[in-house]
Structure 1
Amino acid sequence: MANIQVNKEAHPFDKTRLEALLNRRFFYAPAFEIYGGVAGLYDYGPPGSSLQSNIIAEWRKHFIVEEHMLEVDTTVMTPAPVFETSGHVARFADWMVKDLKTGEVLRADHLVKNVLEARLAGDKEARGQAAAPPKEDDKKKKKKDKAKAIAVKLADEVVTEYETILAQLDNYSGPELGELCKKYAIRNPDSDNEVSEPQQFNLMFASSIGPTGQHPGFLRPETAQGHFLNFSRLLEFNNGRIPFASAQIGRSFRNEISPRAGLLRVREFTMAEIEHFVDPEDKRHDRFSEVRDVELDLLDRHTQVAGSAKVTRMTIGEAVDKGIVANETLGYFVARIHQFLLKIGINPTRLRFRQHMANEMAHYATDCWDAEIQNSYGWTECVGCADRAAYDLTVHSAKTGHPLIVRQALKEPIVTEKLTAEFNKKTFGKTFGKDSAAIQTIIGGMDEALLAKLQGELAQGATTVTSSDGREFKLTPDLLTIEKKTFKQSIREFTPNVIEPSFGLGRILYALLEHSFYCREQDVERGVLSLPALVAPTKVLIVPLSAKPEFEPLVKDVSAKLRKAGIFSRVDDSNTSIGKRYARNDELGTPYGLTLDFASVQKGTMTLRERDTTGQLIGQVEEVIATVIELVNGTIDWAEACNRLPAYDGVQAVE
């Protein structure tokens, strides 16, 4: 039997059926639903929780285990001074506009994007151009917000303007978004009303700590600050050596302006973040050679500013060599992110890495690339990978006085010679009194050239220095001398830079569900989730053909052996047909099924079914169990299983 690959392109994506499946099988659902719900808050059900847990488990293996990272778990509640120092209180905001009549609040960049895209779609329709048929979710959305693609032909130059704006939309400031709304008459599509000038809205949830609220605080919008505040302890744990990385998986909170895109824009979500601390003078990575040849689709900032969204396919090694990606360590993590996303099942043709443009760059970043995954909502940022430089450690050190630095013993001491001023403290103090400290500060701030000039003037008998308020002070050789001294430096002190990969797990999970979903031609009413066994909530379905007592020992034995191998399985012994039992577990993404029939009881045989091909193999129970364990663990694929076990011809033993 060949290893048949399912052609999902032959089965058009149906968003309505996917949403119905996810809701019916309780992957996730709106939180507090029986109370009317709150936008942007979701609860995960059993399959959704298991899927997320499996993604996290693989994330831990792929990053924490393979990269020897230090895992931390820091608090969600954070005192206000931390985020005041980090810049989040001042800068962690989005631009919003209000409907001038209804007061409805809209995110400014999303409003511009939705309206211009609808106009471009209407232009294509008017020109009779072949366009992708509207998705079911688009139809529902258009009915709701009236942003319909009305067939109106636009002037060619207007089409070009719209496409250029959309290509660099993330680069616009709030006032610039306001100008776009005016210039292109962009209104609230729900009401056709004009909107206000954009205003900044801070996305953090404010709170207070203590019974009287004496300590203002915030729910963290990211997990990063916990790493930085614990840097000294982490460095000590790592025996004072860098580079090293810390990692954390936990909840974050953002008070989104208008959360409307399911799991893609929520107010409470799980993040997985890495802070890789590196020497600012050496951002090479020891393992970069392992990923140098990984090919990626890159959308750099220059292409976007030019008004294009065309990606360039190149290896990460070439991107770093050409300076497109800032350094090896940043490039290494971009490649590792790519490998992780493909491993868990993201479609590589719908994955790209987009570089941040100047205006959208976070206040702390020197370079940043987003892993964007295409789905029914468009290209969505799911992972950010930023070079945060030394910003965070520097500002927290300055605020608290705690040195967040690395002290590194030099292999060879650095010997330097430099001019140094030596003051005759007794005479100097008597001569200048309370001005002594100010004069010493002036001289202490001089560079080598100024000290050399001062030295020459003292050799002639006297010199003068001038204070900031214009007063002059005469200096003579009996008050100070300037001589060249030798200094030996055995310790180098520096503030490390930080490379930060940051994963939005909910977004990744949702994109994976879309990429995995399809409907079979012969049963379009039931969907299939083609999830890799690596992350599938249930790995194996056990299907006894009969509920008779003689099946129980065999079912228990198969279940126990899978459980011992660490493989999560479920038994479906309901009285529905075997076809329906398989179909409803295909909806859950279960990759393999084991059928126990009367031949299993009599002859010790068992069939193995693969979800996507629906192909079946048969063999002795022990042999089939060994094969399915290897399939789930990824040590063999379905083609190899087909070589090991004969195809099942459909002939079953009868009672």
Structure 2
Amino acid sequence: MASTSVDSQSLEHDLTLAQAAVTKQGDEVRALKASVKEGKAEKAQVDAAIEQLKQLKASLDLKQKEFQSSSGKTSSTNREAFRAVVGEALQRRLFYIPSFQIYGSVAGFYDYGPPGCALKQNITQCWRQHFILEESMLEVECPAVTPEVVLKASGHVDRFTDLMVTDVVTGDCHRADHLLEAALQSLLEGKPKPLSSEEKQEVHNVLATVEELTGEQLGDALQKYGVQAPETGNDISRPFPFNLMFRTSIGPRGDQVGYLRPETAQGIFVNFKQLLYYNGGKLPFAAAQIGQSFRNEIAPRAGLLRVREFTQAEIEHFCNPDAKDHPKFQSVAQEQPLLFSRELQMSAEKLPQAMRLGDAVSQGIIANQTLAYFIGRTYLFLKRIGIDPKRLRFRQHLANEMAHYAEDCWDAEVECSYGWIECVGLADRSAFDLRAHAAKSKQDMSAYEPFPEGPRMADVLVVAADKREIGKTYKRDAKAITEALESLSEEDKACMQADLAAGKACKVTLADIDYPINTSMVQIKQERKKLSGRSFIPSVIEPSFGVGRIIYCMFEHCFDTRKEDEKRTFFHFTPVVAPVKATVFPLLQKPAFIEKAQSVAALLTSAGLSTIIDSSAASIGKRYARTDEIGVPYAVTIDHQTLEDSTVTVRDRDSTTQVRISITNVKQVLPDLMEGRTWASMQQEYPVHASAGDEK
């Protein structure tokens, strides 16, 4: 057994070196291609470099198969090799690339190229259709630059931090929790030596609770497991907080502090009263926003998964805190996503289980119907855009992981080569955000709801402010203080009444200035009144989507190779998100073929399908492979028979099979395929076309 272990470790080391060689040579090829265009290198040099790259890739393939055969497992190197292959394909076909590349790039910033832009736009449009339109949500667009007072009220200025450590020699910064997670993962993989079953269980338990650790606990764990700075191996400092927001100045004098927003949600909260009015004063309702957010990440090293500027799609569903049932819940009650509840996370197996959402609510696993409804809708959305449901789970926050004000929180996590990645957060945030902005702005953030059974008598607290006494003490500020007292919520009135009765200090805060209030200035007493309804601050259910993270996980889930040739890679994007819906190929570079191709492309474009024409001199097989690589689901080919009877072949990307169809039917058939028609039904209705067009 010892010999086998040593052999596996040796093979894994060789595999790491082989992958590094492939990456280095790939960079060399790209650099030479650029030099040829500038006249600084010969094409022969590029050809030689490409040939060397092919040899290195072949060697890497052999080493991967040898390691997997020897170890019987998928190693971290296998994951990294897969990630490198996917990343190379994405950057080569310009889905996305590092920003400012000619100046050396800046970590955490990426540019989307033409297919990436189209795919991202398709996903956000699909999200808008699935949520905003189908759920009749109110869409808003708010500024990215946010005044400090807004983010002070929300808690971001004081608490939006990550724990950071520094390399004590170089001063390089690292996220403390990421270092610990990487170290624990290495231990589970048997590095530097295999663990006992008891040690494995302990490491699993720590790994499951990393996000809950305080700074002190995180520092102790880093010390216990001997974690050092990556790359240098130097000692690291104790963890300390680092605020993730980009600070800026507003106005020509720069005297008003602002920040680039770390999330899109606050713009919705501060507009709550206007949105409530727009909705006719009725609850529940939801508001949504898609836009850019900014976080000054400590050490972004995971591609699109951790960036400094990213797109968020957020929903704030406002509802009565005592009525969190959802009228459309039955439409998702039978869905069975993988749920990773608190109990399952703390069990010995630590595995999620498929469960009907209706059962999860009735058993109290999910707090209420509205939260479960959005979990169900999120599950359906992610499946629709191409996320593998077997690699998608909804993980419930552990009790000490949740904010004190939250009632229940779940994360939609997707498995990829980086592990399980949080892509969507779904939280019942109670009334925290609206209360925080009401307290800071002194604006009423309550909603009014009539009693369904009609008016009734009730005991209410009434504020009687002594305007003369307040005016004598606070003069020009007296009016604002009086208005603030009279607009107190029932809860705040009760607190102030109790404090005044106990002789405790009370205050009203306006523009960050505290004004002491005593019994000579105000009296709060209970009166019995006839009420037709009640005012309350609504609860908020918040689904928050990280669009870039979803896109990257989808890239990995949709990446595939041809069984007959593993070097031929392609993306099997669902038609709804594919950046290009169809390609049109004239079989030959002759005017008659090209003219017919242009007319077919125009027909498809008029039907709303993004279409490209490839009339290059490459063989039809190479052209198929080229568009497969960017995930085009269907290809239309103009061949000799087209000129005779106005029929074309339509090829399915995934199966590579073809059918022959008349040009007049193309405009209807391809949109039907985009809307969910199966390829099998096409093969039953139209004659199958046998072709050798997919040869290399």
Q: Which residue type is aligned with residue 287 of structure 2?
A: S
* Secondary structure of the structure 2 residue equivalent to 1:612: coil
Are 1:243 and 2:306 matched, yes or no?
no
- What's the Cα RMSD here? 2.8
Q: 2:660 aligns with which of 618, 631, 635?
A: 618
Q: Which amino acid aligns with 1:572?
A: D
Change (3 A) 1:359 1:102: farther
Q: Is the 8 A contact 1:364 1:389 kept in 2?
A: yes
Q: How does 1:310-389 map to 2 (within 5 A)?
A: 310-362=351-403, 364-389=405-430
1:512 and 2:580 aligned? no
Q: 1:565 aligns with which of 607, 611, 621?
A: 607
> Residue 135 of structure 2 corresponds to which residue in structure 1?
67
* Distance change in 2, residues 1:41/1:386 (3 Å): same
Work out the CA distance in 1 between the residues paired with 2:534 and 2:219. Answer: 50
The 1:592–1:418 alpha-carbon spacing in structure 2 relative to 1, beyond 3 Å, is: closer
Q: Is contact 1:164–1:307 with CA below 8 Å preserved after alignment? A: no
The Cα shift of 1:604 comes to 1.2
Alpha carbons of 1:558 and 1:407: their partners in 2 closer, same or farther (altered >3 Å)? same
Inter-partner Cα distance in structure 1 for 2:686 and 2:296: 54
Conserved? CA contact 2:604–2:611, under 8 Å = yes
Distance (whole Å) between structure 1 residues aligned to residue 289 and residue 458 of structure 2? 46
Judge conservation of contact 1:353–1:370 (CA < 8 Å) in 2: yes
Measured against aligned partners, the alpha-carbon deviations of 1:157-203 in whole angstroms (never above 9, x if no partner) come to 22221111112222212211111112222222322222111111111
- Which segments of structure 1 move beyond 6 Å, counting only runs of 4 or more? 419-423
Distance in 2 between residues matched to 1:272 and 1:632, nearest whole Å: 24
Deviations 1:617-644 (A, max 9, x none): 112222344322211222x110111111
Out of 243-252 and 309-318, give the one that drifted further. Answer: 309-318
Determine if the alignment matches structure 1 residue 158 to structure 2 residue 226: no
Question: How far off is 1:32 after superposition?
Answer: 0.5
Code of the aligned partner of 2:231? D
Shift in Å, 1:410: 2.8
The AA in structure 2 aligned to 1:373 is V
* SS of equivalent to 1:510: helix
1:589 to 621, 631, 637: 631
Shift of 1:228: 0.6
- Whether the 8 Å contact between 1:370 and 1:383 is mirrored in structure 2 is yes
Question: Alpha-carbon deviation of 1:362?
Answer: 4.0
Q: How does 1:28-427 map to 2 (within 5 A)?
A: 28-122=96-190, 149-150=191-192, 152-306=193-347, 309-362=350-403, 364-416=405-457
Q: Note if contact 2:396-2:410 (Cα within 8 Å) is conserved in structure 1.
A: yes
* Structure 1 residue matching 2:371: 3-state secondary structure: helix
Q: Distance in 1 between matches of 2:531 and 2:666?
A: 67
8 Å Cα contact 2:607/2:667 also seen in 1: no
Structure whose CA Rg is larger:
1
Mapped partners of 1:168, 1:53: distance in 2: 36
Is residue 82–residue 417 contact of structure 2 (8 Å, CA) maintained in 1?
no
1:240 & 1:408 partners in 2: Cα distance?
Answer: 8
CA shift, 1:63, in A, is 0.3
In the alignment, the residues of structure 2 paired with residue 613 and residue 627 of structure 1 have an alpha-carbon distance, to the nearest angstrom, of: 18
Q: TM-score, normalised by structure 1?
A: 0.83
2:503 is the alignment partner of 1:468: yes
| 1:419 Cα deviation from its structure 2 partner | 11
TM superposition shift of 1:302: 3.2
> Which segment drifts farther, 98-107 or 22-31?
98-107
Q: How many residues align?
A: 570
Amino acid at match of 1:283: K
Counterpart of 1:139 in structure 2 is none
SS of residue matched to 1:318? helix
After superposition, the Cα gap between the structure-2 partners of 1:84 and 1:543, relative to the gap in structure 1 and judged at 3 Å, is: same
- List alignment gaps of at least 5 residues for structure 2: 1-77, 470-485, 505-524
The answer to whether the 8 A contact 1:40-1:267 is kept is yes
TM-score, normalised by the number of residues in structure 2: 0.78
Shift of 1:325: 0.7
Instruction: Specify the code of the residue in structure 1 equivalent to 2:142.
Output: T
Query: 2:73 — aligned with what?
Result: none
Structure 1 residues not aligned, in runs of 5+:
1-10, 123-148, 430-440, 452-464, 470-482
- Alpha-carbon shift at residue 110 of structure 1 (Å): 0.8
Q: For 2:529 and 2:239, how far apart are their aligned partners in 1?
A: 57
Give the stretch that moved more between structures: 622-631 or 160-169.
622-631
Q: 1:140: which partner in 2?
A: none
Distance, in Å, in 2 between the alignment partners of 1:57 and 1:212 is: 40
- The structure whose RCO (Cα within 8 Å, separation 6+) is larger is 1
SS of the aligned residue for 1:247 comes to strand
8 Å CA contact retained: 1:383, 1:502: yes
CA contact 1:187–1:195 (8 Å) conserved in 2? yes
The residue identity in structure 2 corresponding to 1:550 is: A
TM-superposed deviation, 1:305: 4.1
Contact 2:598 2:613 in 1 (8 A): no
Partners in 1 of 2:279 and 2:461 — Cα distance? 38
Query: How does 1:426-505 map onto structure 2 within 5 Å?
Result: 468=503, 487-505=529-547
Indicate which of 13, 27, 42 corresponds to 2:95. Answer: 27
Aligned match of 2:674: 632
Which one of 590, 614, 622 corresponds to residue 548 of structure 1?
590
Deviation string 1:401-425 (CA, Å, 9 cap, x unpaired) is 11011122334344336699999x9
Give the AA of the match of 1:238: N
Which residue of the partner structure matches residue 576 of structure 2? 534
Relative to structure 1, is the Cα distance of residues 98 and 467 closer, same or farther in structure 2, using a 3 angstrom cutoff? closer
Return 327-336 or 392-401, whichever deviates more.
392-401
Give how far 1:103 is off: 1.5
SS at match of 2:401: coil
Q: Describe the shift of the 1:301–1:633 C-alpha distance in structure 2 as closer, same or farther (beyond 3 A).
A: same
Residue pair 1:18, 1:527 contacting (<8 A) in 2 also: no
More helix by percentage: 2
Contact (CA 8 Å) 2:582, 2:636: kept in 1 or not?
A: yes
CA contact 1:412–1:490 (8 Å) conserved in 2: no
SS of the aligned residue for 1:54 comes to: helix
Q: Is the 8 A contact 1:203 1:254 kept in 2?
A: yes
Distance 1:328 1:466, change over 3 A: closer
Give the AA of the match of 2:105.
Answer: G
Cα distance 1:248–1:620, how it changes in 2: closer, same or farther (>3 A)?
Answer: same
